[in-house]
Amino acid sequence: MKNTVQVTINAPGFEDVFPTRKGLGFQALSAKYETHIDYDCRKSDCGVCIFRVLSGMENLSKRGENENAFLNAMRADENERLACQCRIMGDVSITIDDYTT
């Protein structure tokens, strides 16, 4: 069983790959590697940490009730998620439009 997974973050002028332990969230990834993903509310009601999944959607935890309600209210695309609500279960590639390094 593979315990380490890879998260590829793509943004305008930036791409990097970060290894992390399977089952952790994006907040833990950001704390370890300073990925510069912003988190304001941490409870799925501000949308600051929204990202788009390029590949590996099946490797993220399923949307919870709060995340689903927020994303539906925002009319988010099917491939958009909130980093504060996701657990990473396998390799995933994401893009963040407002990414700052």
For residue 81, the domain's CATH number is 3.10.20.30
pLDDT, tens digit, 9 for 90 and up, residues 18-38: 999 999 999 999 889 888 788
- Is residue 101 in some structural domain? no
pTM above 0.75, yes or no: yes
Domain presence at residue 27: yes
* Residue 101's pLDDT band (cuts 50, 70, 90): low
Number of structural domains, the chain? 1
- The C-alpha angle with vertex 16 and arms to 79 and 77, in degrees rounded to 5, equals 10
Q: What is the pLDDT of residues 61-91, one digit of tens each?
A: 999 999 999 999 999 999 999 999 999 999 9
Can you say how many angstroms the Cα of residue 60 is from the centroid of all Cα atoms in its chain? 8
User: What is the structure's pLDDT at 1?
Assistant: 55
pLDDT at residue 98 above 80? no
Residue 96's contacts (CB-CB under 8 Å, 6 or more residues apart) are: 9, 10, 11, 37, 51, 52
Is 45 inside a domain boundary?
Answer: yes
Looking at residue 100, what is its pLDDT? Answer: 61
Residues in CB range of 70: below 8 A, 6 or more apart:
44, 45, 47, 82
